[in-house]
Structure 1
Amino acid sequence: MWGTVTALCGAPPGVAPEGGRSLREFTVPPMATAPQVGGLADAVFDHALDDPRRIALCRKDASGRWHDVTAADFRDQVLALAKGLIADGVRFGDRVAIMARTRYEWTLFDFALWTIGAQPVPIYPTSSAEQVFWMLHDSEVTACVVEHEDHSMTIGSVVDRLPHLKRLWQLDTGALRALLALGETIDDEVVHRHRRAVTPESVATVIYTSGTTGRPKGCVITHANFMFETDMLISRWEPVFHSRPDDEASTLLFLPLAHVFGRMVEIAAIRGRVKLGHQPALSASALLPDLQSFRPTFILAVPYIFEKVFNAARRRAESEGKTGPFDKAVDIAVKYAEAVEQKAFGQGPGPSAALRMQHQFFEKTVYGKVREAMGGRVRHAMSGGSGMGRRLGLFFEGAGVTVFEGYGLTESTAAATANPPERTRYGTVGQPIPGTTVHIADDGEVWVRGGQIFSGYLNEPKATEAVLREGWLATGDIGALDEDGYLTITGRKKEILVTSGGKSVSPVALEERVRAHPLVAQCIVVGNDRPYIAALVTLDQEGVDHWLAMRGKPPLTPSELVRDPDLETEVRRAVVAANTLVSQAESIRTFRILAHQFTEEHGLLTPSLKLKRRAIEEAYEVEVDALYR
């Protein structure tokens, strides 16, 4: 066992880890030395000096073609933009907001701002005017980069309440060109003096939490936090960035750069010399074509992406009349992966000869096509942001793509734990990343300690004191460590439901299992202070359209869909499957299908697609009450 253990203990309340025993604490020693000097931008200049012709990034033009950007090219662009920012009045320590989708220019601005010691403040491009106002006001930004006119108008609607905001740059009107031209009068040495003044303890960014409850808080993250986080991940997982040992590592970044996960991927790619491309849309219809044209060797994603790839493959098989063979291939992949997993933990001999033959039979007809949907070269991936079902992870492993599930928060600069390459335990979020300790408190709360833990919340000393306790981050999540130090997250302290009969229920596992059904888009479990547990379910439109077509049913309106008895039967199967995970007292007794999905635009989802439980229950108060009549 690779790590340090302190006392074995019984499981926390509501948690029953395999074997009935769990650890109180687990530590994995560091695998890299934390930098003592410098900041994040130094890697750009160091890499250009070491290997100027190496392809550092790829940039897609309006026609969809990818163009290589060498390490020297990127260094020159960062330097030129840094000069332009200085010429336009940005100073060391200034905060500059970036409100845009994931795109090449965001990474360029990030590293140019870090070069001169400024602090980027990411803003989700879908944020409302009041959300934008709060974040810009709270962080006292002096300038803002936006993508297009809609963003400019959003900021313009609140600019009279932002006395510190002096500059607004709009990318689609040539702001980048104007800044580059403005910087031509600045000497390179001026920029380098700023860069040399940046230390690991300098603030790198202020990232606002999604705000599932209450007002978003600004997480202050230093250069040291990001360097620790990314260097430890690179040191442990770098071998799996490649499809083959001798190929060039590359990844396509499609996660929002306004989220800490996407930001970590950006920095890790630059520091780890992984060729980086950008894709602005998280939807499967936009993403899958770019995966096939960019052909990454490794991706970092949220479970939604893997669910979409799987569901698309199954719909294609059903359209071709091959549902039976596809489902058989899934079962074989899961059994094969389980046998591999058991062997890795010394619990079995590995796949039998018969299982290997069955697995090989489906390689070209099913597994190869699944990999091709992700570009054809992906053999490893990392998943975070929310929980991934064990069976889905096992399927991808059996199909030739090992998905390392991890866990972290904005406050931990993304990953605090992740499954190690050689021993992946599906259904868990892995062991602490190198240099990190995970501790389970008496009430089952997960505490984390390591060099990636943030400095605190901006302007919120009481909130900071509530979560930082003598070097530990109290995450607010409930979990358990098994005897090998693998963490399982079972819920959030604030999201534990307590029925009127006093039964405590964590909704997360139930919701994830219901959502695994191809017809289901979202599920929220309710039941706080109610006699039993119930659920609201929304539908996946692509899945429903395919389901209707395959059964010869005409297109139905949303109101007709929710009353369709056949569709209700399908959703009921998902609920029954979810109920097998829990006791009868914790099971979903009844549910209601809603005509429309929960959306961020209606204030029901965070920008990172997490459910805003309180807002949903208030918006659907009538529907929830009806579940208990």
Structure 2
Amino acid sequence: MQVKPFNLVDMLHQNVMRFPNKEAIRWKEGTYIGMSYSELWDHIRSFAHGLSRLGIGRGSKVAILAENGPKWLISDFAVLSLGAVSVPVYPTLTGKQVADILFYADVEAIIVQNAAKVKNVRWPEGVKTRIAMYGEDVPEGYLSFDELVQQGKKGNGQKHRWGWESIQRDDLATIVHTSGTTGRPKGAMLSHGNILSNIEQILHYVPVNHEDTNLSFLPLSHIFERTAGHFAPMYVGGTIAYAESLEQVPANLLEVKPTAITSVPRLFEKIYSRVMEQAASGSRLKQHIFLWALKVGAEKCRYTEQGYGYPIPFRVQLQSLLADKLVFSAIRQKTGGNLRLLVSGGAALDAKISRFFAQIGMPVVEGYGMTECSPIVACNPLLRIKPGTVGRPLPLTEVDLADDGELLVKSPSVMIGYYNQPEETAKTIVNGWLHTGDIVQMDQEGYIRIVDRKKSIFVLSTGKNVAPQPVESTLCTSRFIHQAALIGNKRKYVSALIVPDYDSLIQYARANGWSSKTRRELAHSKLAHDLIRDEMSRLLRDFASFEQPKKFTLLEEEFSIEKGELTPTLKIRLKKIEENYAREIALMYEEALEEEPSASQEPDSGEYTGSAEVAAARQTSSSESRKPGATTMNPSSFNWVSALASAIIFARVIFNPKVLAGIAIGVIAGILVQYLW
């Protein structure tokens, strides 16, 4: 039985002792290669000794600015083993943002992927040491990572000087900066115990084990990936495989065949959109079989959602086996075929997408957290997922609601405080309760549903409160919508800036004979606007009329980190978006000044709520933009498919040789019994 580790390095060391020859990490150099736990430990020890020779020791602040890879993990554990403090920095930040973090965190050394990553950084005076992970020619002013490892090997025999055994759970491990949606990032101080307790709590709901292989692609500078996809696999003795890049994740899934991944909702939205797109483009028979399979999956989920061991009718089990054979197994094969744990965090996952993955046999475990809580606060138990919620609070985590619905948290994983910002700490942690800044709802079973960030909710001039995040995330489930930002604070109605998924839109335009085929043409195309209007009407029909955008503008360019419109964790910075698109926003409201509804009126027929305008747009779209004979998936035509499937199942069961032999034996036994009686 594994003993609870007393620090993060001891956590790794225990598995080095348990699984010395087991593969700990994998990465790609032409093909995927690996490193065992014992080899990994030797590299960490050597690099730690190399850092020690530079004067890095207890309390030193060492930044890591690099893409995910084996040297990131080695650097992190080497720094922690010296009692030093690792300060992860997003590789996507601007030079000024990087310099600010280094200055305010009192960083004295930095480990970078290569010099090109930080060419625009003006180094604060306190940064005395710069180490480059990669690059044949190390630039002047940098030390080579590999050379430090070689130098450190010379001191490997002096194990007593390493000293990681003296580090305790209460010691500071890392300073992780918040994403900064509303201001300058703050450095959350997390101890070894904060992170360890969070992992130990997570394992109660998400049973990761030493046989799991995790594909790592979210940035390790994000505490979600660092805890769930970096430290947690090392806690249980699993294997971490590093993706080459976000763009290569689909290919790497097939190469690695992982059993677990941690991701933000966008990946699951993309998979969902592609599957639905491929299904819609298939023959009428394939569409019917696909929709029948989803119906069977949904019926099975109604039983499995009741809890582990809840009985499933024999008929549903048989139909589920056939649906899996005909449809779902092929979908799973495109993700490697072995995925059993899919964890989503960082933003709300649309309930429809959660249900879809459950129906195809790949349930997504959605959780919620924040940097200040190391980071996970709540999570859906794998055996009791409730779509549309972020699950229950983790064990040992207390939650409460403030008068305005803000979630308050008390847990052993709550941070020590913000580095050198006692006033901000006092505002955030009051009487031991962490004020999350998130407005939530809780049901009778303790499941939490996130409404939105407290600071994100805006008030219309009509007095209505609007939470933009649920609307934005729902819009992004469309295969034609990549990004969405709602506008409306202190205005009479909601509008939206929409970034289409141009790959899907261009493909659709070509297939349907549109003259508009470039981004610029599509952004100003009436057919494209009609299509997006239809999508908005379809997706938002369950939202209140005042929450639905009355006007929208299609943008040619994506929101980006470089333009300051997104945080490093891809959350929207609305203030910057409103600055960058002030003209487009003004036009959406100036064009409607004379037709704005009064506070006491329902929105007029210009809203996307299934009105005559939408009906006309659908008619236009149907007559002008769709191919003759094109088919759409209609869930009402399942009956004959279900009957066919049942007949196939019945035939397979009845004409199975073993079944026929059993029937024959039964008949003979019956005759003998009758004769003897």
The answer to whether the aligner puts 1:279 opposite 2:243 as a matched pair is yes
Matched ranges for 1:391-430 at <5 A: 391-430=352-391
- Contact 2:259–2:339 (8 Å) recurs in 1: yes
Could you tell me how far 1:469 is from its partner in structure 2? 1.2
Q: Partners in 1 of 2:516 and 2:37 — Cα distance?
A: 52
Query: Is 1:476–1:492's contact at 8 Å kept on the other side of the alignment?
Result: yes
d(CA) in 2 for partners of 1:332 and 1:485?
Answer: 29
**C-alpha deviations, 1:236-270, integer Å up to 9, x for none?**
422xx37xxxx921111111101001110200010
Query: Cα distance 1:215–1:351, how it changes in 2: closer, same or farther (>3 A)?
Result: farther
The aligned counterpart of 1:203 is 172
Q: Which residue of structure 2 aligns with residue 270 of structure 1?
A: 234
CA contact (8 A) 1:405 1:430 kept: yes
1:43 aligned onto 2:11: yes
Give the distance between the partners of 1:51 and 1:307, measured in 2 at CA. Answer: 37
Identity level (%): 29
The one-letter code sitting in structure 2 at the alignment partner of 1:90 is I
Deviation per residue, 1:101-133 (Å, 9 max, x gap): 111110111111111111111111111011001
Larger mean Cα displacement after TM superposition, 332-341 or 289-298? 332-341
What is the distance in 1 between the residues matched to 2:16 and 2:426? 42
> C-alpha offsets along residues 266-288 of structure 1, whole Å, 9 cap, x if unaligned?
000101111111124223xx101
Distance in 2 between the 1:150 and 1:554 partners? Answer: 42
Q: Are the equivalent residues in 2 in contact too, given 1:83–1:183 (CA < 8 A)?
A: yes
**3-state SS of the aligned residue for 1:173?**
coil
Question: Which residue does 1:228 correspond to in 2?
Answer: 197
Q: Aligned residue for 1:251?
A: 214
- Verify: 1:171 aligned to 2:133, yes or no: yes
SS in 1 for 2:40: helix
**How far off its partner does 1:404 sit?**
0.8
2:276 maps to which residue?
Answer: 314
Decide which structure has the larger Cα Rg and report it.
2
Q: Please say if 1:449 is aligned against 2:410.
A: yes
Match of 1:511, SS state, is helix
| 5+ long unaligned stretches in structure 2 | 137-143, 591-677
Task: Give 1:291's match in structure 2, choosing from 253, 256, 261.
Answer: 253
User: Does 1:526 pair with 2:487?
Assistant: yes
Look up the match of 1:89. Answer: 55
Please give the residue correspondences for 1:108-119 in structure 2 after superposition, counting only pairs within 5 Å: 108-119=74-85
Tell whether the 8 Å contact from 1:337 to 1:395 is kept in structure 2 after alignment: no
Q: Does the aligned pair in 2 maintain the 1:319–1:550 contact within 8 Å?
A: no
Which piece of structure 1 moves more, 553-562 or 395-404?
Answer: 553-562
Indicate conservation of the 8 Å contact 1:115/1:191, yes or no.
no
Tell whether the 8 Å contact from 2:216 to 2:240 is kept in structure 1 after alignment.
yes
Bigger proportion of residues as strand: 1
Aligned-partner residue type, residue 249 of structure 1: D
Q: Which residue in the other structure is 1:60 paired with?
A: 28
Determine the C-alpha separation between the residues in 1 that align with 2:571 and 2:301. Answer: 30
Q: Cα gap change, 1:184/1:55 in structure 2, threshold over 3 Å: closer, same or farther?
A: closer
Which residue matches 2:337?
A: 376
Deviation at 1:333, TM superposition (A): 5.7
- 1:142 is matched with 108
Partner of 1:184: 153
Asked if structure 2 preserves the Cα contact closer than 8 Å seen for 1:208 and 1:217, the reply is yes
576-585 or 529-538, which deviates more: 576-585
Contact 2:27 / 2:243 at 8 angstroms: preserved in 1?
Answer: no
**Does 2:295 correspond to 1:332?**
yes
Mapped pair 1:436 → 2:397: yes
Partner of 2:579: 618
**Deviation per CA, 1:407-438, whole angstroms, max 9, x where unpaired?**
00011112110001221111100001111112
* CA displacement, residues 589-625 of structure 1 (integer Å, 9 cap, x when unaligned): 2211112111111111111111001100111111111
Partner Cα separation in structure 2 for residue 488 and residue 184 of structure 1 = 51
Does the CA-based 8 Å contact 2:506-2:518 persist in structure 1?
A: no
Contact 1:513 1:577 (8 Å CA) reproduced: no
Instruction: Sort the Cα spacing of 1:71 and 1:349 in 2 relative to 1 into closer, same or farther, 3 A.
Output: closer
**Is the counterpart of residue 261 in structure 1 residue 230 in structure 2?**
no
Task: Please state how far the C-alpha of 1:330 moved relative to its aligned partner.
Answer: 6.8
Distance 1:342 1:119 in 2: 43
Provide the rounded CA distance (Å) in 1 between the counterparts of 2:408 and 2:4.
22
Amino acid at match of 1:255: L
In the alignment, the residues of structure 2 paired with residue 41 and residue 536 of structure 1 have an alpha-carbon distance, to the nearest angstrom, of 47
For the pair 1:493 / 2:454, whether they are aligned, the reply is yes
Q: Distance in 1 between matches of 2:231 and 2:578?
A: 38
Is the contact between residue 249 and residue 274 of structure 1 (CA under 8 Å) also seen in structure 2?
A: yes
Of 552, 560, 573, which aligns to 1:599?
560
Structure-to-structure mapping, 1:459-470, within 5 angstroms: 459-470=420-431
* Partner AA of 2:444 in structure 1: E
Q: Distance in 2 between matches of 1:403 and 1:115?
A: 34
Distance change in 2, residues 1:409/1:188 (3 Å)? farther
Which consecutive residues of structure 1, in runs of 5 or more, have no partner in the other structure? 1-31
Give, in angstroms, the shift of residue 48 of structure 1.
Answer: 1.7
Matches within 5 A, 1:468-507: 468-507=429-468
Q: Distance in 2 between matches of 1:451 and 1:615?
A: 35
Residue 190 of structure 1 deviates from its aligned partner by 5.4
Cα distance change of structure 1 residues 87 and 358 upon mapping to structure 2, 3 Å threshold = same
Q: Distance in 2 between matches of 1:493 and 1:351?
A: 45
Secondary structure of the residue that 2:119 maps to in structure 1?
helix
* TM-score of the superposed pair, with normalisation by structure 1: 0.88
Q: Give me the CA root mean square deviation.
A: 2.2
Equivalent residues of 1:204, 1:221 under 8 A apart: yes
Aligned-pair CA distance for 1:44:
2.3
- One-letter code aligned to 1:418: C
Deviation at residue 40 of structure 1 after TM alignment:
0.5
CA distance in structure 2 between the partners assigned to 1:340 and 1:593 by the alignment: 42
Q: What whole-Å deviation, never above 9, does each CA across 1:42-76 have from its counterpart, x for those lacking one? A: 12222222331222222322x1x222321111111
Say which SS state the counterpart of residue 24 (structure 2) adopts. Answer: strand
Letter in 2 for 1:100: A
How many equivalent residue pairs? 580
Shift of 1:486: 0.2
Deviation at 1:480, TM superposition (A): 1.1
Provide closer, same or farther for how the CA distance between residues 527 and 337 of structure 1 changes in structure 2, counting only shifts above 3 A. farther
Q: Is the 8 A contact 1:499 1:531 kept in 2?
A: yes
**1:523-545 CA distances to partner (integer Å, 9 max, x unpaired)?**
11111000111111101122223
CA contact (8 A) 1:255 1:262 kept: yes
